[in-house]
């Protein structure tokens, strides 16, 4: 038996230059009991209709909580049309994305709590017909009622409580200890190749990466927005348009962070690129024109792309690799024993 325990969870916000705190919903304060329960649920296949699929099935810690498969498979073996994105540093999306379209590749969830519930009700992902059957399984379980009592003061398990604890755990998934971060803290020196790659990244008319992935004063390496990055002339997947119905949103997808790229292959929402060098080659010379392509992409069409040299590409790659945080993917706080 567990007594109600509202001990606050002390979230470790990075102190490096550029990092800031992010908002915690007033109706979902983070507690030690809530985070622990959210972690247990994240790794438990009880949330799926046939007890085979957990959140961690598609969001694997070793892959920075992304899916190494080209297309994520659901509880009954069905394949979706997108790869599950990574789940780190999500708390800052609530702070810096003010559009109301925040989570999933297409912005289909407005906050982390709704994002946490979405896959549970997706017929392909976890295959449940409704939340009633999910809550019934949890309520009948030998351990969960007591754990919800510890987190909320009541044995009663609801959709709202379930969403709250999973999102509490997800807010703890903070990646901030890459070689780039260590260099920012003056704990290591950047290599000449990394420095050149960094200059390409932030240079107008060179890499131009910073327009969507942030300048060096922003440690998140995403603008938290949505862009059509020139993948297709006629996108098969309409992206943000599926949510908004606005013609200008066809082919726009959420900008992913560039942290931990060595762990999150394959790349793009549809996993079309298997290596980082393929991604660099695409931006260098493979982007396509469409009615909604981002101006930061289309401005390079007339000159045939970015025209990066082989050394430029290698240096840019080395800079991107410096954003890997192996401590994050091996942190026992995030991994279910």
Residue-wise pLDDT for 266-320, tens only, equals 999 999 999 999 999 999 999 999 999 999 999 988 888 999 999 999 999 999 9
Per the listing, tokens 């292959």 go with 265
- Domain count along the chain: 2
Give the pLDDT confidence score for residue 169 in this predicted structure. Answer: 98
Asked if the structure places residue 284 within a domain, the reply is: yes
One domain for residues 147 and 184: no
Give the pLDDT confidence score for residue 163 in this predicted structure. Answer: 98
Q: Are residues 77 and 212 in contact, defined by beta-carbon separation less than 8 angstroms?
A: no
Asked if the structure places residue 19 within a domain, the reply is: no
Last residue of a domain, one of 175, 194, 229: 175
* 3-class DSSP assignment, residue 45: helix
Confidence check: pLDDT of 337 > 90: no
Six-digit token string for 146: 């007591």
Q: What is the rounded (10 degree) CA torsion for 28, 30, 35, 37?
A: -40
One domain for residues 249 and 276: yes
166-212 pLDDT, tens digit per residue, is 999 999 999 999 999 999 999 999 999 999 999 999 999 899 999 99
Q: List b or e across 145-181, with b for residues whose CB sees 16 or more CB atoms inside 10 angstroms.
A: bebbbbbbeeeebeeebbbbbbbbbbbbbbbbbbbbb
Long-range contacts of 235-239 (CB under 8 A, 24+ apart): 235/290, 237/81, 237/82, 237/269, 237/270, 239/105, 239/106, 239/269
One domain for residues 319 and 186: yes
The C-alpha atoms of residue 231 and residue 294 are separated, in whole angstroms, by: 11
The C-alpha atoms of residue 71 and residue 65 are separated, in whole angstroms, by: 14
Confidence check: pLDDT of 44 > 90: yes
The C-alpha atoms of residue 144 and residue 150 are separated, in whole angstroms, by: 10
The C-alpha atoms of residue 41 and residue 60 are separated, in whole angstroms, by: 14
Per DSSP, what are the bridge partners of residue 163?
none
What angle do helix axes 131-140 and 144-152 make, rounded to 10 degrees? Answer: 100
Give the pLDDT confidence score for residue 2 in this predicted structure. Answer: 86
Give the pLDDT confidence score for residue 302 in this predicted structure. Answer: 82
One domain for residues 64 and 193: no
One domain for residues 36 and 144: yes
One domain for residues 160 and 211: no
Confidence check: pLDDT of 133 > 90: yes
Last residue of a domain, one of 175, 190, 224: 175
Distances (CA, A) of 327 to 64, 68, 167: 10, 19, 22
Range of the domain at 227: 179-327
One domain for residues 155 and 214: no
Confidence band of 17 (pLDDT split at 50, 70, 90): confident
Give the pLDDT confidence score for residue 89 in this predicted structure. Answer: 97
One domain for residues 171 and 279: no
Confidence check: pLDDT of 1 > 80: no
Give the pLDDT confidence score for residue 148 in this predicted structure. Answer: 98
Confidence band of 118 (pLDDT split at 50, 70, 90): very high
The C-alpha atoms of residue 180 and residue 197 are separated, in whole angstroms, by: 12
What is the percent of the chain where pLDDT is above 90?
A: 92
One domain for residues 81 and 207: no
The C-alpha atoms of residue 301 and residue 282 are separated, in whole angstroms, by: 13
Six-digit token string for 225: 């927005």
Can you spell out the DSSP letters for 142-189? Answer: SSHHHHHHHHHSSS---HHHHHHHHHHHHHT-----SHHHHHHTTSSP
CATH number, domain with residue 134: 1.10.760.10
Give the pLDDT confidence score for residue 300 in this predicted structure. Answer: 86
One domain for residues 171 and 239: no
One domain for residues 261 and 273: yes
Six-digit token string for 322: 């410096």
Confidence band of 99 (pLDDT split at 50, 70, 90): confident
Instruction: Please give the model's pTM, rounded to 2 decimal places.
Output: 0.95
Burial of 14 (0-12, 13-18, 19+ CB in 10 A): middle
Confidence check: pLDDT of 132 > 90: yes
Confidence check: pLDDT of 104 > 80: yes
Mean pLDDT of the chain: 95
One domain for residues 153 and 279: no
* 3-class DSSP assignment, residue 62: helix
Per DSSP, what are the bridge partners of residue 227?
253
Q: What does the chain come to in residues?
A: 337
Give the pLDDT confidence score for residue 251 in this predicted structure. Answer: 97
Residue range 73-101: average pLDDT? Answer: 92
């Amino acid at each position: 038996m567990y007594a109600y325990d509202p001990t606050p969870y002390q979230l470790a916000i990075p102190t490096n230059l550029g990092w800031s705190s992010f908002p915690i919903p007033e109706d979902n304060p983070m507690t030690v009991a809530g985070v622990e329960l959210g972690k247990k649920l994240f790794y438990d296949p009880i949330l799926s209709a046939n007890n085979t699929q957990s959140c961690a099935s598609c969001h694997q810690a070793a892959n920075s909580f992304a899916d190494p498969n080209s297309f994520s498979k659901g509880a009954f073996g069905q394949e979706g049309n997108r790869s599950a994105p990574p789940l780190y540093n999500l708390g800052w999306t609530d702070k810096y994305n003010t559009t109301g379209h925040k989570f999933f590749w297409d912005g289909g969830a407005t906050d982390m709590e709704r994002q946490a519930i979405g896959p549970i009700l997706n017929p392909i992902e976890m295959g449940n017909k409704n939340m009633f059957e999910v809550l019934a399984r949890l309520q009948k379980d030998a351990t969960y009622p007591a754990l919800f009592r510890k987190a909320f003061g009541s044995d009663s398990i609801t959709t709202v409580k379930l969403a709250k604890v999973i999102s509490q755990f997800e807010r703890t998934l903070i990646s901030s200890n890459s070689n780039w971060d260590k260099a920012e803290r003056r704990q290591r020196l950047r290599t000449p190749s990394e420095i050149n790659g960094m200059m390409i990244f932030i240079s107008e008319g060179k890499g131009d990466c910073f327009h969507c992935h942030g300048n060096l004063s922003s440690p998140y390496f995403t603008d938290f927005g949505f862009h059509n990055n020139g993948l297709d002339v006629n996108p098969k997947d309409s992206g943000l348009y599926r949510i908004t119905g606005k013609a200008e949103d066809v082919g726009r997808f959420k900008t992913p962070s560039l942290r931990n790229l060595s762990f999150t292959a394959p790349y793009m929402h549809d996993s079309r690129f298997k290596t980082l060098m393929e991604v660099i080659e695409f931006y260098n010379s493979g982007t396509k024109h469409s009615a909604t392509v981002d101006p930061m992409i289309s401005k390079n069409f007339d000159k045939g792309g970015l025209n990066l040299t082989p050394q430029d590409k290698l240096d840019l790659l080395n800079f991107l690799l410096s954003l890997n945080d192996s401590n994050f993917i091996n942190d026992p706080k995030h991994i279910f024993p």
